[in-house]
Amino acid sequence: MPLWYIAELGRLSPHTDKQVRETSRPMRPAGGKRRLRVPLWSITINASARRKKISRQPAHICHKISTRLALLLYQGLWHIVLPCLRLSNRLRIGFDQRTLKTPPPRADLWIQAASVGEAYLAWELVKTLQLPGQTTILLTTITSQGLDILRKIAQEDLGPTKKVITAYFPFDQPSIMARALSCIAPQAMILLESELWPGLMAACKEQGVKLLVVNGRMTQRSLNRYLRWPTIWRELRPQAVLAMSEADGSRFAALFGDDIVTTMANIKFDRIQPQEEGPSPESNPLLWIINGEDAFLVLGSVRQEEEGEIAQLLASLCTQNSHVIIGLFPRHMHRLSHWQKELNYLNLPWKLRSQCSTKTQPGTIILWDTMGELGLAYDLARTAFVGGSLAPVGGQNFLEPLSCGIRPVIGPHWTNFAWIGREIIDQGLVHETQDWQGVVQYLQEQVQILPERQQTKDALQAFVRNRQGGTMVACQKINEMLQ
């Protein structure tokens, strides 16, 4: 049973009727902090013997029992699945940290960033936080790529009051999360964007750790899955949710109640800083393999689900544009072997980026097998396609090529970036097409002309100027929780 199945199990549900909303608030002891006498996940019950008794209890008692039973089931499923997860190439790395065989260090603030995108949001938060005293910040992630970004944050000079340490995020088995939270003992826990982990949330509730969702986003599809079990998430709800849009906020309110949900500007807008000058040989190492005058285009963040369309796109481009150099960037490195076989099957000229040491010949496809160079490639490209948009997987970040001064083309599927607003399409900053043939047509037109980079950067800056400020709002809320 793969990890995504466990994660899906955790994404179960609340919004309930009026009676539930009025009676499902957690009980508070005299001291004011919410603490349970036993771990939420550890309860056992003889359902057949107590069925009548439970049915006569007040609603909030029934909801607590329902939540505990769900967490007990969740605990058991993790117990079954954990041995299998060691076989995963992606999860085997850092397995001792994920299972707490290597205990996590103590920290005042714990920020969880699922992967690369969330890691950059964490970077923005850590950089902006103004802390009055010495504060240790633990940054965790699920992927090795995300950990690479977090380690770069830890190496930065963040001032005398901030110490950053990094680790892999523990598996969400409730017993593991209870031990992790006990070891780390943070004052506050921050979840970024769409992550909701029931094991972690139960441990936070049990141990009195403040939980905040920052830059929160939730699709209607996810909400529908959560609502299959309405009481669990209301019992485990965080102290506050800062949602990235009104639509996301309404979905979080349906899940947790509108009294803890507010909206904020998306932190990703704060990260958009168009460059003032073009790349130079000293600043862009790719100029050693691609001339600034080359007809170079990028297919960025290509997802597995759209590989068939991209293969047809490549064949069409290479047939009609023998002078063009194409940079092919798979979204996940484990798809490189597939692309090597596919390009050989299509009989297209290609080479790995790691094997490029001299200027690339026109008509070559460069299969990118090195991390962290997509932005550098956008700096040199005349045009670009941003992947994840020809198949219904939500799209990838099309703001990155815009910040480099080129106006990209995308397919019809970009729900992950609906928070930006359709105005970015209407203003011509991004070109949307319905199929791979439309992508080919746009790329063929744009690769023939030099992009007006500064004009595009100025237009992007005007677009985002009134949409920035979310990082500061989030940092203010985090400071409140640390006091």
Domains and CATH numbers, the chain: 3-271+472-482 (3.40.50.11720), 285-465 (3.40.50.2000)
**At residue 25, does pLDDT exceed 70?**
no
**At residue 438, does pLDDT exceed 80?**
yes
Which of 286-294's residues contact partners 24+ apart within 8 Å by CB, and which partners? 286/373, 286/376, 286/377, 286/379, 286/380, 287/380, 288/358, 288/359, 289/356, 289/357, 289/358, 289/359, 289/360, 289/366, 290/325, 290/359, 290/360, 290/380, 291/359, 292/380, 294/325, 294/360, 294/362, 294/380
The SS3 assignment for 323 reads coil
Pairwise pLDDT comparison (279 vs 106), residue with the higher score = 106
What pLDDT was estimated at residue 280? 55
Per DSSP, 405 falls in state: T
List phi, psi (to 5°) of 444.
Answer: -65, -35
Do 236 and 24 form a contact (C-beta atoms < 8 A)? no
**Residue 452: in which H helix or E strand, if any?**
none
**At residue 232, does pLDDT exceed 50?**
yes
**At residue 228, does pLDDT exceed 60?**
yes
Kindly report the average pLDDT of the chain as a whole number. 87
What pLDDT was estimated at residue 58? 59
**At residue 407, does pLDDT exceed 90?**
yes
Instruction: Quickly count: other Cβ atoms within 10 Å of residue 130's Cβ.
Output: 11
Confidence band of 266 (pLDDT split at 50, 70, 90): very high
Percent of the chain with pLDDT over 70: 85
Taking the whole predicted model, whether its pTM rises above 0.75 is answered as no
Range of lowest pLDDT (16-30, 284-298, 388-402): 16-30
Confidence band of 165 (pLDDT split at 50, 70, 90): very high
What pLDDT was estimated at residue 44? 42
Closest CA to 129 of 181, 182, 205, 188: 188
What span, in angstroms and rounded, lies between the C-alpha atoms of 352 and 331?
A: 15
Range of lowest pLDDT (39-43, 82-86, 215-219, 472-476): 39-43
Pairwise pLDDT comparison (113 vs 33), residue with the higher score = 113
- Structure tokens that stand for 81 in this block: 């699945």
**At residue 10, does pLDDT exceed 60?**
no
